[in-house]
Structure 1
Amino acid sequence: MLLFHGIKVPDQFDNSNWSNDFISWLEQLKFSTSCGNLALQGKIRLYKFIKSEYLEIANQMRLHCRKNNKKDYYLLKSIPGIGGYLTSVIIAECGDLRRFNTEAQFSSYIGLVPGVYNSGDSEKCLGITPRSRSQFKSYLIEAVWVAIRKNIEIQKYYRKHQDKNVKSIIFKVAHKIARRILSVIKTETLYQINHNLGSRTIKNKQSITILISSIIQEK
């Protein structure tokens, strides 16, 4: 709409993040006609309504998961890049993750084709499939970018491959996070950077379970 009317968005707001300052700037805009002003204000009201509904539903989802799926909720939240909202989305979209026998089954359910094609010195991630949980998959891709910022291990992996196709790298990182999601649930252990969850001893698993229980009680 702004482009149609020849209005340039200031550089500080020209990005995908709609900040409160950007909304305030939109509200102060004036078009040359009253119809233009009415249309703009209507779009702003619609945006605010959708955002408020989104935030309310997100809060209710987190509250529900903390109440009814405490252990899984805090296990999943221990993974860098996965916050409370994405945790609740995972539980809502996938149910009990323990029903997946393998990582390949879980990746296929999400819509990330579980495989990598190797040819000589090249490596190609097979990518995605249209048979998927599309909303969950999109949230997982967003989590990848957060994990790249917060997880040193993921950062190193990304930088090692950043000269290659960016899209393929993101899908490969998404595969890694999907494996970690299933791993923390199947082993019932909090995620730890640079630690192989699958090789932990039963004693260590029990100690982590006790730690999770103490976190839940504090919450």
Structure 2
Amino acid sequence: MNGLKVLMGLMVVSLMSTSCVSLNGNIDVKQMMAAKKKSGFLNLKTTEIQIQPGLYSAELKINSDKNYTLKLDGQNKILIPIKASKDLNVPSNGHVFMSHNDINQPFDLSGEISTDIQDSDRTDAVEDCTFTVTENHCQKICDKPDACSIVCKDVQVTINGRHEVSFHYRTTHRDLSIDFLKADKPEVLASFHGTDTETDRITDYSGVCR
């Protein structure tokens, strides 16, 4: 891969009010395309670059509802910010559109996103746990050999225990296909497709730790 090869894919979900989600995939750059990348000290500035036509790998990271970063693979690490002053309100399912004016990039974004959520059967189990209790501890303090006193105070003590739990696993799969368009025009500059799958443990019941 030469120089700045890879491009910018982007977008994703208000369902991504969950931060730290990454979509991994490819971008097909159909013609020379301009994009602004992070540059300068601490990446506080941006510089406009030209992305060469070709098929590149890309990772889109969702930092927040209004702040995404696309990492481009190449000879150097290229970071392309997709930022807005307000939430972009991207749906978890349906059509996506972002204007170049909103994301401060020289292109519009238009595409589709789908989210599929599957829950496993519930599991009942007994697991290890910890809890704290307050105990009164006393200590003999001697300022001098013949001047001693007993000092008592409450302290928090951690106790190991067991408790009943019920839980299930939730698997979320996201699929994004989006086109990069010339600003205010229907001409397609590049197409990105990326996916993300994550599994979380959901606690349905947690008994008292004893």
Q: What TM-score range do you get, normalising by the shorter chain?
A: under 0.3
Whichever of the two has the greater Rg, that structure is 2
TM-score, normalised on structure 1? 0.21
More helix by share: 1
Which structure has more relative contact order (CA 8 Å, sep 6+)? It is: 2
TM-score, normalised on structure 2? 0.21
